Amino acid sequence: MIIENLFQQKKPALSFEIFPPKKEAELKNIDATLSTLAKLEPDFISVTFGAGGSSANNRTVELAKKIKKEYGIEPLVHLTCISYSREEIKGILEELQKAELWNVLALRGDRNPDIPPKDDFRYADELVAFIKEQGDFHVSGACYPEVHTEAPDGITDIRNLKRKVDAGVGHLVSQLFFDNDNFYDFLVKLKIAGIDVPVEAGIMPVTNRAQIKRMVDMCGAVLPKKFEKILEKYGDHKEALFDAGMAYAVNQIVELIAQGVDGIHIFTMNNPVVAGRICEGIRNLVNVKRDSKETG
Ligand code: FAD
């Protein structure tokens, strides 16, 4: 399946993001998560990629192969470039080609003080162009409704995004956000800039207070007033905050779908209960199947 073509047949699309477990043994446990996610019938599952290290140490490709072979779901393979040489990226792409994994999310990767950047790729648009030269890949990219943390302003960020799309990106997945209005404004700016590829809305269901703090620190997500109220009231009550976080994410998604967004991409954090709760709330909006026993 070519992910960028999916949106012509289905809108909204539904996708999940998972990360490869760090330890070999944990790769076996991922089956419990995958079998629950599979029952929710996502259109594809994306698999994150580490910031550095050798491709042999990276379990992304292994997990993507598993998703395709054992679960019959199309994987979207994340690939970061800032800490890799052209030769290393070429090696990973050859591995993908052999496994017939043609959908790649091309990313620069976050700067990491412990992993020095290599000189071959400075920005994701350079990776996009390189991937396109290497074979028949379909390339997706990341976008930032509330502006990337390193960008001087929103307009520059969108100009850079246009460069990435012009280099060959056919589908965008957004950074998480909690304020839908910021996403709608962003979509209008994309149209004005002539960016007309499908854009999926990235939704992070909040499960605890520490996670929200991490999100705000890491990606500068804006917390709307109504979200702050939820934190004020339920911040010290784990279970109540979990329920409120799930309800908030479902509300966000319902509104986004009503506005006609191209797709919803749920950052599952490998937690099938979270994915199940969200899908339970939206199943008739995106045709996902109900399985109350599995989804808790
Ligand atoms: P770019 O598109 O290169 O943009 C980075 C910054 O550089 C922006 O400020 C942009 O405005 C600017 N810029 C871009 N092009 C140019 C140019 N040509 N000239 C000057 N400035 C430019 N990280 C991981 O390590 N692994 C993952 O699996 C992963 N998955 C992600 C999935 C999603 C959906 C998202 C939104 C992010 C993900 N990230 C992941 C994080 C991502 O790597 C970081 O946000 C990173 O800081 C930027 O990556 P990018 O590909 O968007 O970079």
pLDDT digits (tens, 9 = 90+) for 16-64: 999 998 877 777 789 989 999 999 999 999 999 986 655 545 799 999 9
Query: pTM of the predicted model, to two decimals?
Result: 0.95
Handedness of CA 130, 63, 37, 245 (dihedral sign): negative
Q: What size, in residues, is the chain?
A: 296
CA angle 82, 141, 281 (to 5 degrees): 125
For a substitution probing ligand 1, which of 77, 79, 107 has the most ligand atoms within 8 Å of its CB? 107
Tens digit of pLDDT for each residue in 59-115?
999 999 999 999 999 999 999 999 999 999 999 999 999 999 999 999 999 888 888
For a substitution probing ligand 1, which of 148, 149, 165, 266 has the most ligand atoms within 8 Å of its CB? 148
Ligand 1 atom at minimum distance from 109 CA: 43
Is the peptide bond preceding residue 12 cis, with omega within 30 degrees of 0? Answer: yes
Ligand 1 centroid – CA 124 distance (Å) = 6
Mapping DSSP to helix (H, G, I), strand (E, B) and coil, where does residue 143 land? strand
Pocket of ligand 1 contains residue 49 by CB under 6 Å = yes
Ligand 1 centroid – CA 241 distance (Å) = 30
What H or E segment, with its residue span, contains residue 176? strand 169-176
Tens digit of pLDDT for each residue in 109-159?
988 888 889 999 999 999 999 999 999 999 999 999 999 999 999 999 999
Q: Up-side HSE of residue 170: CA atoms within 13 Å toward CB?
A: 16
Ligand 1 centroid – CA 208 distance (Å) = 26
> For this structure, is 26 an active site residue?
no
Pocket of ligand 1 contains residue 76 by CB under 6 Å = no
Cα separation, 296 vs 19, in Å, equals 21
Pocket of ligand 1 contains residue 51 by CB under 6 Å = yes
Any bridge partners for residue 127, and if so which?
none
> Helix, strand, coil proportions of the chain in percent (round to 5)?
50, 15, 35
Burial 236-263 (b: 16+ CB within 10 A, else e): eeeeebbebbbebbbebbeebbeeebbb
Pocket of ligand 1 contains residue 62 by CB under 6 Å = no
60-71 vs 86-98: helix crossing angle, rounded to 10: 10
Tens digit of pLDDT for each residue in 261-289?
999 999 999 999 999 999 999 988 987 54
